[in-house]
Structure 1
Amino acid sequence: MTFIDPAPFRAAARATADAIAPVETATRVTCGACGTGSMLPFDFTMAFQPIVNIATERVWAYEALVRGADGAGAGAILDRVSGDMIYGFDQACRVRAVEMAGALFTPGEDVKLSINFMPNAVYEPNACIRATLGAAARVGFDKRNLMFEFTENERMRDVPHVRRIIEAYRAQGFVTAIDDFGAGYAGLGLLAELNPDVIKIDMALIRGIDGSAVKRSIVAAVIALCDELGIIPIAEGIETSGELAALRALGVRLCQGYLIARPAIARLPVPFADAAEVVHA
């Protein structure tokens, strides 16, 4: 057993701001195509969690995760989003994530910002991306480092619409990802229909993988499929050094989870800084 030295990650994060004020209640959605321009009746901010390449020991991306201004989890915020708020909330989350990343990321560094989006909150891809692009231009964030990931908790009713979103985003130079792959409806059928750039393997397949031959076989098959299709796999939800060692042995390179770093509100956490041990191959 050896330890990954967190010093390179700590040095990279040293220049980032410790805190950024949460978005104001009076944030107005600036994309005119969203129609209402209504105010959101609550405050929110963003936490960031790294996705690390364990082969190079470098941060590949940070995922932006919505949090309450008081630190409340995503569920508490999402529970307050009614049907008539969904467009405005999706737009506000994108803009806030980009604005905060512009202040926190090192200029010129090739690190992606992963933003979750709601497919049913995008009625026309090129119109609904305007506010995001405007925010990127204001803060000097390279749009080529944007990654958009989505998951479906219900069976997708309009796959062609989501395919159009992915095609439009790819044309803009964005990376697209299916989140929670292998759980619920985010399975092989969706992969065949959408052909994203990235899949994030659901934590249910990662949890305890070091002690489960079945899970190792399933993930190995997913990795082989990704290799054949030219898709980048990311393992999410890693919590133990045993899980990380098993994934490393299977050839997984991009990893995310509490073992690496917990999400940190308004700052970029240092990967492996709090890990007790990390196993090298």
Structure 2
Amino acid sequence: MTCSNCSIILPIKDQGLLKIRHSRVSLTPALEGLGMLSEQMKQEHWCEGNIVFRYDSRSQLEQLVNGLARLPQECLSRMQVVVTGLQHVEGFEEWLLFGQLQARLQHPDLVSIINNQNFTSHMQPIVDYKLNIIGFEFLLRPSQPDKSFQPFRLFEVAREAGLHAHLDRSARISAIEKSATCLPAGIKRFINFLPSTIYNPAYCLNHTFETIERLSMNTVDFVFEVVETEEIDDLNFLHQIFEQYRTRGVSVALDDVGAGYSTTELMNCLQPDYVKIDRSIIDGCHHNSDQKRQITGIVESAFRFGGQVLAEGVEQMEDFEFCRDAGVSLAQGYLFGKPEPTPPSNFILSRVV
């Protein structure tokens, strides 16, 4: 089985063809109205109902795309495009929505980072109520100083460009591989994933399990966190993803509970193994009665289905002490360590002794 969302990213050549197709309407009148079917735009030919333009430079391709952007929105929303070389093999074409091609042309540096996997993972410690490190969360970071990026922005552009499934899978595998070089068995590895990038759990997650098996690691050491920037519409599908992880021995976590789309109702529905309370609720909680009530309510709900609760973004000892007394069993934040390329030296030494 193959999936276009997991395939390689085909490069945009400096000389080639831009093909256009639309599922519902003929684009010919609109293109003629913009003067885009003229000889000046180097129309190459018509091919099986597609309109095909030739371009001879990157700037000319950008001019073509800017011209197409003047079409009515009802045309653009359903229009598909593909960019190929002058000599290409049929069947290896990557059809994109028009907006995805626009994003790839507008952000070539970030697309290059995604394509070449110029990223690595930093590790932030997770501690128990005795302040012992029990695991690390793996967070995406640049691997080269001259190829800097903000992780949120990288995923934002990836989503606009139709590359978020590719990036999510690559980042997940990169984190697993990094953990194999830095951590001993028995230490939990918390790794983020976007459920919207998984189309067939049984197939899409194979890359994850194959990597763990290839590196002779134990699936029980892994916790995969649901991180989502859009509302989850299909909870049954998310349950399928959770089940796919759990049947292989992997635990699951719900991130940022209490903020955005990660509501307590979602937590009670999914019943994750780990519940991570959002930092906005943790910060300053020791002197805020509303935050205290929220934390206590989350702990009580998680206790009913057996989920472990983790406090995120802990920076003050007073906040940690309140959370610990309220029944929060794990914590993470600058109070215990910032994300770093390697585990702290005292952790490594304690594992050697």
Range class of TM-score, shorter chain:
0.7 to 0.9
More helix by share: 2
1:252 is matched with 328
Corresponding residue to 2:8 among 24, 28, 37? 37
- Aligned equivalents of 1:228 and 1:115: distance in 2? 25
Deviations along 1:169-204, one digit per CA (max 9) or x if unpaired, are 111111111100000121122123212111100111
Instruction: Indicate how the Cα distance of structure 1 residues 192 and 217 shifts in structure 2: closer, same or farther if over 3 A, else same.
Output: closer
Contact 2:136–2:189 under 8 Å retained in 1: yes
1:9 is matched with none
1:1-281 → structure 2 map (5 Å cutoff): 32-33=2-3, 34-38=5-9, 41-42=112-113, 43-55=118-130, 57-69=131-143, 70=145, 72-81=149-158, 82-106=160-184, 109-265=185-341, 267-269=342-344
Give the secondary structure class of the aligned counterpart of 2:256: strand
Give the secondary structure class of the aligned counterpart of 1:84: coil
Contact 2:268–2:301 under 8 Å retained in 1: no
- Aligned equivalents of 1:168 and 1:150: distance in 2? 14
1:20 is matched with none
Give the secondary structure class of the aligned counterpart of 2:310: strand
Deviations along 1:140-181, one digit per CA (max 9) or x if unpaired, are 221221111113332212221111101111111111111000
Contact 2:308–2:329 under 8 Å retained in 1: no
- Aligned equivalents of 1:270 and 1:153: distance in 2? 34
Deviation for aligned residue 1:248: 2.0
- Aligned equivalents of 1:250 and 1:195: distance in 2? 20
Contact 1:52–1:271 under 8 Å retained in 2: no
- Aligned equivalents of 2:325 and 2:283: distance in 1? 16
Contact 1:206–1:243 under 8 Å retained in 2: yes
Gaps of 5+ in 2: 11-110, 348-353
What percentage of residue pairs aligned between the two structures are identical? 27
Deviation for aligned residue 1:72: 4.2
- Aligned equivalents of 2:345 and 2:310: distance in 1? 19
Deviation for aligned residue 1:118: 0.6
Instruction: Indicate how the Cα distance of structure 1 residues 134 and 36 shifts in structure 2: closer, same or farther if over 3 A, else same.
Output: same
Contact 1:260–1:271 under 8 Å retained in 2: no
Contact 1:68–1:77 under 8 Å retained in 2: no
Give the secondary structure class of the aligned counterpart of 2:202: helix
Equivalent AA in structure 1 for residue 124 of structure 2: Q
- Aligned equivalents of 2:345 and 2:332: distance in 1? 12
Contact 1:50–1:271 under 8 Å retained in 2: no
User: How many aligned residue pairs are there?
Assistant: 238
Deviation for aligned residue 1:271: 8.0
Question: Which protein has the larger Cα radius of gyration, Structure 1 or Structure 2?
Answer: 2
Contact 1:90–1:118 under 8 Å retained in 2: yes
Equivalent AA in structure 1 for residue 122 of structure 2: A
Bigger relative contact order (CA 8 A; separation at least 6): 1
Equivalent AA in structure 2 for residue 95 of structure 1: I
Deviations along 1:225-277, one digit per CA (max 9) or x if unpaired, are 21122111100000111211221221222000011110012x123689xxxxx
- Aligned equivalents of 2:2 and 2:136: distance in 1? 29
Deviation for aligned residue 1:35: 4.7
> If the length of structure 2 is used for normalisation, what is the TM-score?
0.63
Equivalent AA in structure 2 for residue 175 of structure 1: S
Contact 2:284–2:319 under 8 Å retained in 1: yes
- Aligned equivalents of 1:136 and 1:218: distance in 2? 37
Deviation for aligned residue 1:123: 0.7
> If the length of structure 1 is used for normalisation, what is the TM-score?
0.78
- Aligned equivalents of 2:246 and 2:301: distance in 1? 21
